[in-house]
Amino acid sequence: MGHMETIIKKVKKGQLDRESMEMAGAILKRGGLVAFPTETVYGLGADALNEKAAEKIYAAKGRPSDNPLIVHITNLDALEKIAINIPKETKAIADAFWPGPLTMIFEKSDVVPLGTTGGLNTVAVRMPSDEVAAALIDAGGGYIAAPSANTSGRPSPTMAEHVEEDLAGRIDMILDGGPVSIGLESTILDMTVTPPMILRPGAITKEMLEECVGEVTVDKAVIQPGQRPKAPGMKYRHYAPQAKLSIVEGDMENVIAKINALAEEKVKEGCKVGIIGTEESVHNYRCGDIKSIGTREDESTIAVHLFAILREFDADEVDYIYSESFDSEGIGSAIMNRLLKAAGHHVITV
């Protein structure tokens, strides 16, 4: 792929710069690529109904072409244009969680090219709540395909600087709307099966969905290693830091002692070590590059820092990372899903 100049524009919520938004919309309409903030992670946008444009996304990210893209919309009329046989439960779910961090999968209509859906006859659809995202989708024609705006295999970007690191010179434009608010990708819910099935956990939890429509199941591959996931993208070794990451789980006192012992051993061998602790525990660690990921009193603070911390350890060329384990209630199930993947499911129980 040729080297191109990437335009970077800062955009402020509440006072979007019209000129930048029009420029970004025009780039999308002529088949170009624009990275933009959403409430979950930054996305790499292209016109979802233009097969050539959607295909450029795969080249820029180095993404396998069988991994389908999510189509981003801003209204329910748009959903009816790209999806067919929409089940009746959809309305209640959309009323409760759209716009927001939820993606739903439906049978696709003929207007959606197979280049966007990775050859599948289903389409993933999301209506993001971020103001910059919504304005860009409208400016770009209403149907924007967007995976996370990282190089395939790297942690998803939670600020514009991460996008620049991975994709500068490979895409037309980056809209910099500052750090995202959630930090983990949207919940994916497959609406083509009964009951609906969660293929990827996110900020909209199983409990929240069940309160709305009754029973919801979870793809086995979300929790168990070695199962073949139903979302094609979930099978790749995602969120992989360059270091070897281990999760240490058990009573806090034992976890701290074990992480200290492991870190001291590796430092003695001359290795660089990173530690992921929390506000409650960091003062107990003795050596290595010690980072607080957030507070256990509010796990959303942990979610929002996870990918940035993995990137910082990559930049510091750390050899080993030891992380505490987190509760898997609420957003915790999404945190542990991403952390376990980053660790290749390497867990030490003490």
Interface ranges with Mg ion (CB under 5 A)? 148
Interface with ligand TXA includes 41 (CB under 6 A)? yes
Rounded to 5 degrees, what angle do the CA atoms 189, 96, 330 make?
60
Q: Distance between CA 218 and CA 99 in Å, rounded?
A: 22
Selected from 6, 20, 38, 281, the binder of ligand TXA by CB under 6 A is 38
* Residue carrying structure tokens 């070590």: 273
Q: Does 277 bind ligand TXA (CB under 6 A)?
A: no
In the bound complex, what is the minimum distance in angstroms from residue 207's beta carbon to ligand TXA? 19
Q: What is the per-residue DSSP string for 83-109?
A: EES--THHHHHHHHH-SSSEEEEEEEP
**191, 216, 231, 302: residue in contact with ligand TXA (rule CB under 6 A):** 231
> 124 forms bridges with which residues in the sheet?
70, 105
Out of 123, 173, 198, 204, name the contact with ligand TXA by CB under 6 A: 123
Q: Nearest approach, Cβ of 14 to Mg ion (angstroms)? A: 28
* Interface segment toward ligand TXA; rule CB under 6 A; list 23-31, 120-128, 314-322, 335-343: 120-128
Smaller CB separation from ligand TXA, 41 or 173:
41
188 lies in the site for ligand TXA, by CB under 6 A: yes
CA neighbours closer than 13 Å in the CB half-sphere of residue 270: 0
Which residues inside 137-156 make contact with ligand TXA, applying CB under 6 A? 146-148
CB under 6 A: which stretch of 86-94, 135-143, 227-235, 259-267 binds ligand TXA?
227-235
Q: DSSP assignment of 49-65, as one string?
A: T-HHHHHHHHHHHT--T
Can you tell me which of 172, 185, 299, 324 binds ligand TXA, judged by CB under 6 A? 185
Nearer to ligand TXA, 105 or 263 (CB): 105
In the block, residue with structure tokens 């009746």: 88
Rounded (5°) CA angle 313-316-320: 55
In the structure encoding, which two tokens stand for residue 339, read together? Answer: 């952390």
